């Protein structure tokens, strides 16, 4: 009988300490967005690529439909700063049978931008996951010019 109580206590401890409650495990997701411009030196026959930050780009964080456990919270929106940096504070939420996973919550970020140099531009970042309580720095989102 003692082992039965011990077993119940261990299962209860596991359930209370599992990732089923992530309300206090917010994740700060940061990154950079911009595009590259080719500077062509015809005298020396050289081309140099320069990164231009997308100041004021609109970014949206949502669930990645290709992920095993996609984020299912509301779509988050932010704007990049003058250096092209952006930040999202995410409450990691998924919807599926069972407990919320401790990791691998799939996210997707879309970026929209327009300026006089590149015109309308779009970029996307997929295939990345977040873990509750662990901040994430994502790779740079490179924008591409949208053509009609």
Q: For residue 21, what is the domain's CATH number? A: 2.60.40.3330
pLDDT of 15 > 60? The answer is no
The domain in which residue 102 lies consists of: 2-145
- Report the mean per-residue pLDDT for the chain: 83
Predicted pLDDT at 69: 86
Supply the pTM of this predicted model.
0.77
Quick: pLDDT tens for 27-59: 999 999 999 988 888 888 899 999 999 999 999
How many domains in the chain?
1
SS (HEC) of the chain: CHHHHHHHHHHHHHHHHCCCCCCCCCEEEEEEEEEEEEEEECCCCEEEEEEEECCCCEEEEEECCCCCEECCCCCEEEECCCCCEEEEEECCCCCCCCCCCCCCEEEEEEEEEEECCCEEEEEEEEEEEEECCECEECCCEECEECCC
């Amino acid at each position: 009988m003692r082992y039965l109580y011990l077993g119940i206590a261990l299962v209860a401890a596991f359930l209370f300490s599992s990732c089923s409650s992530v309300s206090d495990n917010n994740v700060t997701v940061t990154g950079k967005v911009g595009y590259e411009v080719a500077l062509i030196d015809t005298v020396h026959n050289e081309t140099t690529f320069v990164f231009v930050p997308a100041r004021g780009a609109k970014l949206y964080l949502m669930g990645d439909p290709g992920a095993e456990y996609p984020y299912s919270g509301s779509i988050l929106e932010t704007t990049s700063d003058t250096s092209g940096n952006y930040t999202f504070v995410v409450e990691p939420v998924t919807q599926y049978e069972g407990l919320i996973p401790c990791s691998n919550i799939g996210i997707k970020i879309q970026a929209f931008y327009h300026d006089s140099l590149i015109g309308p531009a779009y970029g996307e970042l997929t295939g990345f996951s977040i873990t509750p309580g662990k901040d994430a720095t994502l790779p740079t989102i490179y924008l591409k010019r949208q053509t009609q």
